[in-house]
């Protein structure tokens, strides 16, 4: 048994004996329980903690590393001059404790549009790639009951439904990695209390006081609601109740999807009779949202009004485009496929992922992956695949050398190549929120 493993076993024994202060014992049990729950789902054995230097992530690192071998990773977003010093603070702390630490960098100042959302996606993408390269199967995030309550208030302001008000999930899959939040039931004050008892400091992010951000506004609103007995803890409990109701809806959705939905060549194919008779309005809406997001690879669903229009008129409007997809309605099936125009200008070098697909086979100079399109359709001639609809094939991945079509695996022209989907499972799209 290693020294780290022996220390963890000794700590577990101390927890069982009651030798650890109750407030620390509850946090340690939460950390250990979260990891034990994850174990059957891990595709790689190692664990990591995303650490910004703030109190929540520092506490997550301290608590998890007390029981399990972990690595730490910090992402310097490049958005504030203090960010480099904060990453160095985490690096020094980890070095003193013998914890492997990596700092990743992102040029956040070059981002366009919603900066906070761009930063969130960059964090998932960069840390996810780092974790895969390190053989890490799961990354812990330090979100607390306070974050859950703030998220609830922000989504309430956006008139979210049950799926949104059910809060952040305890775990989710993204970028080929499992992400988990072991302390969603604990408050920020509880985590800070643990750090203070251990004599461990943290860094206060000045943006936490900047009211330009919705989360800061929600935090201040939560403080104003405290005289009514509405706190992070009470809202987290409410979110938990809603999450249980959400699980019931998700169970129904998954059950109906298994019975009436199949995947074919990257398309979502829905049995039209089952969709008409078996799906109520809510499960129908969620299924269409999930299908559009899975096929398009979009992070968010389309506007609710556009999806409602699909649900109200799909029997009479048999071909439409929405969210980078085409919705084709036949007598027997509703097929959601990629819109060819949405990928018409997308080209990547051979070997790279193209719109959720990867073409595999022998390398050759000048090969690129792009949509089959109308030009590829002409070059296929009569040898094209007959079992798939033309819209599906036009938007399918093809291998080009200049203007010459080399391979179109889904369309019947293989030439020693094959196309493989590298998207998350459709089940993940069904249950994401």
Residue by residue, DSSP assigns 100-166 as -EEEEE--GGG--S-HHHHHHHHHHHHHHHHHHHHTEEEEE----HHHHHHHHHHHHHTT--HHHHT
pLDDT-derived band at 249 (thresholds 50, 70, 90) equals confident
What is residue 204's predicted lDDT score, i.e. its pLDDT? 87
The reply to whether 233 sits in an annotated binding site is no
- Name the percent of the chain lying above pLDDT 70: 93
Does residue 12 carry a pLDDT above 80?
A: no
CA 349 to each of CA 126, 366, 399, 400, 411: distance values in angstroms, whole numbers, following the listed order: 21, 8, 9, 10, 20
Q: Which residue has the higher pLDDT, 52 or 386?
A: 52
Task: Quickly tell me which residue has 């085409």 as its tokens.
Answer: 326
Hey, what CATH topology would domain 3-230 get?
A: Rossmann fold (3.40.50)
List pLDDT tens digits, range 72-112: 999 998 777 788 899 999 999 999 999 999 999 987 555 45
* Beta carbons within 8 Å of 161's beta carbon, 6+ residues apart: none
CA 129 to each of CA 333, 345, 400, 426: distance values in angstroms, whole numbers, following the listed order: 38, 26, 28, 21
Does residue 401 carry a pLDDT above 90?
A: yes
- Name the percent of the chain lying above pLDDT 90: 61
Provide the 3-class DSSP secondary structure of residue 223. Answer: helix
Interatomic CA distance for residues 314 and 39, integer angstroms: 43
Residue ranges per structural domain of the chain: 3-230, 261-340+426-431, 345-421
Query: What value does the mean pLDDT take over residues 148-152?
Result: 92
Interatomic CA distance for residues 423 and 259, integer angstroms: 22
Query: What value does the mean pLDDT take over residues 32-49?
Result: 87
Interatomic CA distance for residues 174 and 423, integer angstroms: 10
Query: What value does the mean pLDDT take over residues 287-295?
Result: 94
pLDDT-derived band at 1 (thresholds 50, 70, 90) equals very low
Does residue 115 carry a pLDDT above 90?
A: no
The reply to whether 55 sits in an annotated binding site is yes
CA dihedral in degrees (268, 273, 275, 278; nearest 10)? -140
What is residue 41's predicted lDDT score, i.e. its pLDDT? 80
Interatomic CA distance for residues 108 and 85, integer angstroms: 16
List pLDDT tens digits, range 173-208: 888 899 999 999 999 999 999 999 999 999 987 666
List pLDDT tens digits, range 313-325: 999 988 999 999 9
Task: Annotate 235-302 with DSSP letters as a single string.
Answer: HHHHHHHHHHHHHHHHHHHHHHHHHHEEEETTEEEEEHHHHHHT--HHHHHHHHHHHHHHHH--SSPP
| Helix or strand holding residue 50 (H, E) | strand 46-50
The reply to whether 53 sits in an annotated binding site is yes
Query: What value does the mean pLDDT take over residues 25-31?
Result: 89
Mean pLDDT (the chain) is 89
The whole model's pTM is what? Answer: 0.71
Query: What value does the mean pLDDT take over residues 418-428?
Result: 87
What is residue 2's predicted lDDT score, i.e. its pLDDT? 42
Does residue 17 carry a pLDDT above 70?
A: yes
């Amino acid at each position: 048994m290693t020294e780290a493993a022996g220390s963890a076993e000794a700590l577990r024994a101390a927890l069982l004996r009651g030798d650890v202060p109750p407030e620390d014992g509850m946090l340690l049990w939460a950390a250990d329980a979260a990891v034990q729950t994850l174990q059957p789902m891990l595709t790689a054995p190692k664990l990591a903690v995303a650490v910004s230097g703030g109190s929540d992530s520092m506490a997550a690192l301290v608590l998890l590393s007390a029981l399990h071998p972990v690595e730490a990773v910090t992402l310097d977003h490049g958005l504030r001059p203090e960010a480099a010093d904060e990453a160095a603070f985490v690096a020094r702390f980890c070095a003193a404790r013998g914890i492997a630490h990596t700092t990743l960098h992102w040029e956040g100042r070059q981002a366009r549009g919603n900066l906070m959302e761009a930063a969130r996606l960059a964090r998932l993408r960069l840390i996810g790639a780092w974790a895969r390269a390190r053989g890490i199967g799961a990354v812990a995030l330090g979100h607390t009951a306070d974050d859950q309550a703030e998220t609830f208030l922000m989504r309430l302001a956006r008139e979210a439904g049950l799926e949104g008000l059910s809060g952040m999930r305890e775990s989710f899959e993204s970028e080929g990695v499992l992400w988990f939040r072991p302390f969603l039931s604990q408050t920020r004050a509880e985590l800070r209390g643990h750090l203070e008892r251990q004599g461990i400091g943290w860094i206060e992010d000045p943006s936490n006081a900047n009211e330009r951000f919705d989360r800061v506004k929600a935090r201040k609103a939560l403080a104003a609601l405290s005289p009514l007995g509405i706190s992070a803890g009470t809202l987290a409990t409410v979110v938990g109740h809603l999450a249980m109701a959400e699980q019931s809806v998700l169970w129904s959705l998954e059950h109906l999807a298994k019975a009436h939905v199949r995947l074919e060549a990257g398309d979502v194919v829905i049995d039209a009779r089952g969709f008409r008779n078996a799906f109520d309005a809510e499960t129908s809406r969620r299924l269409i949202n999930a299908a559009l997001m899975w096929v398009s690879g979009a992070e968010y669903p389309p506007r609710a009004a556009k999806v409602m229009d699909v649900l109200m008129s799909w029997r009479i409007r048999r071909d439409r485009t929405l969210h980078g997809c085409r919705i084709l309605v036949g007598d027997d099936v509703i097929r959601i496929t990629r819109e060819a125009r949405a990928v018409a200008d997308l080209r990547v070098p051979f070997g790279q992922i193209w719109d959720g697909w990867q073409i595999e086979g022998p390398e050759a100079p000048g090969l690129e992956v792009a949509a089959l399109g109308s030009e590829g359709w002409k070059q296929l001639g009569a040898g094209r695949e007959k079992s798939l609809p033309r819209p599906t094939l036009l938007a399918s991945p093809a291998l080009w050398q200049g203007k010459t079509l080399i391979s179109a695996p889904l369309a019947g022209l293989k030439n020693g190549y094959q196309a493989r989907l590298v998207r998350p499972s459709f089940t993940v799209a069904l249950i994401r929120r």
